[in-house]
Amino acid sequence: MTTIVIQTLINGLILGSFYVLLAAGLSLIFSIMGVVNFAHGALLMLGAFCSYVFITKLGLNFFLCLLISVGVMVILGFIIQKIIFNPLKGNELNMMVISLGLAIVLENSAVIIWGPDDRVFPFFELGVLKISNVFLPIDRLLILLSAIVLIVGLYILIQKTKIGLAIRAVAQDLDAATLQGINSNTISPFSFGIGCGLAAAAGTLVSPLFLVSPYMGTLPMVKAFVVIVLGGLGSIIGAVIGGIILGLMESLVATFFGAVFQNAISFLILIIVLVLKPEGLFGEK
C-alpha cells in the first residue's frame, strides 16, 4: 500500500513540475501586463513544435533544441507583445479577448501546417528505475530535473539580476518604475518573451512524454490558471508551491478515486480557493 502512495506522490511531483513551469510564465505575464493570456497554451504548443522541427529536420541534440526553441519563443513573445498587446494597453478586457483570437490563429495555423494528428517526439530510449516496487521512468525524472533547473534559473533572474529588478518594479507600479528611469517599452515585451520562453520550455519538456499536437496546450493552460490562483497571482514561489500541490492532488484523487475526477479536482480547488482565499497562498490582496 505504501508503495502505491509513494508512486502516486512521485507521479504527482512530476506532473506538478510541468504545471509549475507553465504557471510561472503565466504569472509573470499577468504581473507585468495585468492580462489573462489565453494564448499561453498555444504558445506552449508552438514551442513544442519548434523543438520538434529542429529535432526532426536538423537532428540536433534534445537540450540544444530546447535552448533554441526557448530563444526563438522569447523573441517571438517580444514581437507579439509589441504588435498585439501593447496597442491595447490599459484595456484588460480587450487584451484578454485578443489573446483568445491569438490562440485561435496559432492553433489553427498549426493544424494547417502540421495536421491535427499527434506526433511522436524522438527521445532517448531510457529505462525504468525500480526502487523497492516504485517505478521511476528515467525519462520522466530527466524532465523533472530540467524543470527544476529552469525554475531555479528563473528565480535567479527575477530576484538577483538587474533586469529582474526592473521587471519586479514594473510589475509593482508602472508609473513609479518609469519615473525611476525604467523603460517599460522594453521591459514589458521582454517579460512577455520570458513568459513565452517558459511556456516553450514546458512544451518541449513534456513532448517526449505526451506527444506533440496542435491541441496539446489547452488543458495544461487551464490547469496553469488554477495554479496561479492557488499560489497567488504574480508570485513565482506561489506558482511553484501551487503547481506541486495541484500535481499531487490530481495524482492522489485520480489514483484513488478514478481518473475521471482528474480534471474535476482542479476546478474544485479553483472554486474553493476563490471562495475562501481569492488572493491564493502567496499573493498580495
Partner 1 sequence: MVKNKGKKTAFMYIAYSLGACLFLGIPHIIKDPYFMHIIIISVINVCLALSLNLIMITGHVSLAHGAFLGIGAYTSTLLVTRLGIPFWCALPLAGLMAGLVSFLLGLVTLKLRGIYFALATFAFNEILRMIFIGWGNLFGGASGITDIPPPGPISIPGLVTIQFNTKFTYFYIAALFLMLTFFIITRLHRSRTGLIFKAIEEGELLTGCLGINTMKFKIFAFVISSFIAGSAGSIYAHYLHYICPEDFSFWESVNVLVFTVVGGVGTILGPILGSTLLTITPEFLRFTVEYQTLLYGLILILALLFMPQGIHGLLKTITNNIPFRGKTQENVTFEN
Partner 2 sequence: MRFYKVAIIAIALTLVIFTGTNVKAETLKIGVISVLSGPGAVWGLGILRGAEMATDEVNDRGGLKVNGKTYKIELIAYDDKYTGKGGKSAGEKLVYRDKVKFIIGPISSASLLAFQEMTEKEKILVLSDSYTEKALSPQKPFTLRMFMTAVEATPLLVDWVLKEYPNAKKAVTIAPNDASGHAGVKVQESAYKKHGIELTSKEFYERGTKDFSPLVTRVQMLNPDVIAFANAPTSDCALMVKLFRQMGSQAVFTDNTSTDFRKMVEITGKKAAEGYIWGAFFDPADPKMKSYSESFKKRYNIEIPSYVDPAFYQAAKAFYYAIEKAQSLDPATVRDTIKYRIPEFESVMGKMLFGGKETYGIDNQAYSAYYASVIKDGKQVILKKLR
- What the block records as the C-alpha cell of 96 is 484578454
One character per residue 45-64, x = contact with partner 2 (rule: CB under 8 A): --------------------
Q: Is 163 in the site for partner 1 (CB under 8 A)?
A: no
CB-wise, 30 or 78, nearer to partner 1? 30
Q: Is 123 in the site for partner 2 (CB under 8 A)?
A: no
Which residue, 79, 67, 47, is CA-closest to 214? 47
**Beta carbon of residue 267, minimum distance to partner 1 (angstroms, whole number):** 4
Kindly tell me which residue out of 2, 57, 260, 285 binds partner 2, with binding defined by CB under 8 A. Answer: 260
Distance CA 34, CA 89 (A): 10
CB-wise, 1 or 275, nearer to partner 1? 275
Q: Kind and range of the H or E element at 7? A: helix 2-33
| Residues 188/170, Cβ–Cβ less than 8 Å | yes
Contacts of 203 (CB under 8 A, 6+ apart): 43, 44, 45, 46, 47, 48, 51, 216, 217
Beta-carbon neighbour count of residue 4 at 10 Å?
12
CB-wise, 72 or 229, nearer to partner 1? 229
| Residues 213/115, Cβ–Cβ less than 8 Å | no
Q: Which residues bind partner 2 (CB under 8 A)?
A: 4, 7-8, 11-12, 14-15, 18, 108, 111, 115-118, 120, 125, 128, 135, 137, 140, 206, 209-211, 213, 215-216, 218-219, 250-256, 258-260, 262-263
Q: Which residues bind partner 1 (CB under 8 A)?
A: 30, 36, 84, 87-88, 91-94, 96-98, 100-105, 108-109, 112, 225, 229, 233, 263-264, 267-268, 270-271, 274-275, 278
